[in-house]
Amino acid sequence: MDRAKENLEMAIKQEPNDRAMRVAFKALCDEKGKKEREWYSKMSGFYNSDKLDKVSQKDEEQTILREKIKRQMMDNQN
């Protein structure tokens, strides 16, 4: 959507009297705003939930596991 918005902005600068492009630009901006509000709403719900805690816990477990594997590989090489 960002790329489409940039392209329409450039087209409008070249043809400022083209009403169809301005209408398309406004529709795109409205749709983009709507989608962004929807995404932020979903993210907000995710960040304030147990889901994030579970993901963080998994990340931490994977980091610990990677370190154990790395140490084992180093020990095996010695």
The rounded distance, in Å, linking the Cα atoms of 49 and 27 is: 33
Our count of domains for the chain comes to 2
Which residue, 10, 1, 51, 68, is CA-closest to 30? 1
Residue 78 has pLDDT above 80, yes or no: no
Residues 8, 29 share a domain: yes
Domain of residue 31, residue span: 1-47
Task: List pLDDT tens digits, range 14-68.
Answer: 999 999 999 999 999 999 999 988 888 777 766 666 777 788 888 899 999 999 9
Residues 30, 60 share a domain: no
Whole-structure pTM value: 0.50
In the prediction, which pLDDT does 67 show? Answer: 92
Residues 38, 11 share a domain: yes
Q: Which residue has the tokens 């600068």?
A: 13
In the prediction, which pLDDT does 72 show? Answer: 87
Residues 18, 1 share a domain: yes
Residues 35, 22 share a domain: yes
